[in-house]
Chain A
Amino acid sequence: MKAALTFNNVSYRYPDSQEMALKGINLTVTEGEFVGIIGPNAAGKSTLCRAANGLIPHSFSGDLEGDIYVNGINTKEKKPAQLAEYVGLVFADPEAQLSQMTVWEEVAFGPANLGIPREEIFKRVDLMLGLLKIEKMRDRSPFNLSGGEQQKVAIASVLAMEPRILVLDEPTSNLDPRGTAEVFAAVKELNKKQNITVIMVEHEVELLAEHADRIIFMDHGQILLDGPPGEVFRQVELIQKTGMNIPQVTEVAQILDKEYGVWGNKPYPVTIEELYACLRNN
């Protein structure tokens, strides 16, 4: 398996801050993985995202130690605009990422910036609009769409540059449950069908547990837990101590485990289907 993104002992401090935002992060994400990152506020999740596409150190000053490799390229050597071909970054505020007059132009904006020939851009935009199921809105202004639709436009516009890695920084925090479900479904499909590596920072642990292959739990700039959802969410006390939630299914599983000792050393179930399957087998 090829590594898509590698953090090599990365530490970072923002220029106006005393505390380190990232402390000795070592992380390797392999191609095609769906990684969910959870953690309380100021855990360093957004900083990790910004470091992944070179915004840190190019647009933020401050002290960066260690190296970050995207597809084998050291991010110190290329600007974010150049890294955009490899890593796409989607932000929390859907509206602040959009800038064009129509959805079509919005999606075409990225590849046009890369100087890709027109015919190729036309093809890519049609493909992306289809992939995210937003063809019907192609001539509408992105500012007149719902939050979920806007976020899908933002994702499509990032993907039109054909990055192999998609980093999403709390993409659903401004969305209603329906918009959230839409974004998750779209990202999941991209991950499975296009084999795009996904790194997603989220507070929606239920949905993340359901979709992600791997969960990373961060606090105070460090990675505390890293593994499949069932194993990470087993560490209920550690996670709940920081004020974070774990999936309700996992909470139920924990209670059952304490009372009856059903799971032993096996990972906890994280979705209703898994819990149901487990209970049936026992």
Chain B
Amino acid sequence: MKNITLYQPGNSIFHYCDSRTKLVLILCFAVLAFLYFNPLIPLALMLVVLVLNVVATKSYALTNALTKLFLIIILFFLVIHGFTNPLGKTPAVFWGHPLTIPFFGTYTLEGAYYGLTFGFRIATVALITLLYVSTTHPIEVVRGLVKLGLPYNFGFMILMSLQLIPISNREAKTIISAQRARGLVEHNLWEKLKSLVPLFVPLVVSSLERMETMAMALEARGFGYTEHPTQLHEVKFTARDIIIIASAIILLVIGLVLRFKYGRLSWIDHLNSWGNIFWPG
């Protein structure tokens, strides 16, 4: 069965801790990333999160599509904001020359500063979320959410749909094979698209039929007997969870105190060279 979720089995500390702990972690990092207006702190946070990801899922943390995507997004932000950000006033110097594109304007240091800040912030949030989904089994995700107040039936529905994807997939393959056996030929993209129309009806019909049996089978097994079915797996915070939550919250509190004492720690108004972007000059 092809993996349809991002879950990577493993035995790191993040695999064993409660899914709610990881949600607290996401919240803390998201707030921290948006607390200050400079590229340095979000960059540091992003690197910390990347390290946590590597600890949890080893090489997957760096080779998966999401990490790559967000590294590309940082570059994208760097280029677009550099040329277009309205805050830009100091032209950046590339080997002694400013860089100008017609209609867009000159590449500015402020733009680069802004682009990097936002790129790192978004990548931090995305990667800490990746840590959550890649170390938490879908069933644990739902269990955690149910504990936090998501209705049981709704959580059950999510899990059920996850189960159905591979089955529907297999069914679609059977139907396509049957239609090819009866002379369906797809030469180009348009014909491939057209062949999806006859696929649709049998797939929907068979899914509906399965749903009917499924609904009956669930009722026959007492689904909906009580509002509060027995929890088979005890979801409990352990010392591990408490340590992680405590350190995340301490970090957040320190961040908030610094924010209120020293402001946004922004040096966007004092940029005069490339090196300035990462360190106030």
Contact = CB atoms under 8 A, between A and B. Distances in A.
Q: Do A and B interact with each other, yes or no? A: yes
Interface of A: 50, 53, 55, 58-59, 79-82, 84-85, 87-89, 91-93, 95-97, 99, 101, 105, 108-118, 121, 141, 143-144, 154, 157-158, 161
A143 B163 contact: yes
B167 interface: yes
Interface stretch (B126-134, B197-205, B218-226, B242-250): B218-226
A18 B246 CA distance: 68
A111 B232 CA distance: 10
Interface of B: 1, 137, 139, 159-160, 163, 166-167, 210, 213-226, 228-232, 234
B222 A84 contact: yes
Contacts of B226: 113-115
Given A116-B230, A143-B1, A99 B224 contact: no
A203 to B, nearest CB: 18
B213 A81 contact: no
Contacts of B219: 55, 58-59, 79-81, 84
Contact of B229 (A101, A105, A113, A143): A113
Contacts of A143: 1, 163, 166-167
A157 B221 contact: yes
Contacts of B230: 111-112, 114-118, 121
A91 B213 CA distance: 8
Task: Describe A's contact surface by its main secondary structure.
Answer: helix
A154 to B, nearest CB: 8
Contacts of B223: 81, 113
Contact of A158 (B167, B221, B229, B231): B221
Nearest to B219: A80
Given A96-B210, A118-B232, A110 B221 contact: yes
A91 B222 contact: no
10 contacts: A59-B216, A80-B220, A84-B219, A93-B213, A101-B139, A109-B221, A111-B222, A112-B229, A114-B230, A116-B230
B49 to A, nearest CB: 28
A187 to B, nearest CB: 16
A282 B89 CA distance: 113
B160 A89 contact: no
B220 A99 contact: no
List 6 tightest A-B contacts by C-beta distance, closest first: A97-B217, A113-B222, A96-B213, A89-B220, A84-B222, A110-B221
Nearest to B224: A81
Of B1, B139, B166, B218, most A-chain CB atoms within 10 Å: B218
Given A79-B224, A99-B218, 9 more contacts: A55-B216, A80-B220, A81-B219, A81-B222, A81-B223, A84-B225, A113-B225, A118-B234, A121-B232
A50 B219 CA distance: 11
A91 B216 contact: yes
A96 B214 contact: yes
A158 B223 CA distance: 12
Contacts of A141: 1
A55 B212 CA distance: 12
Nearest to A105: B232
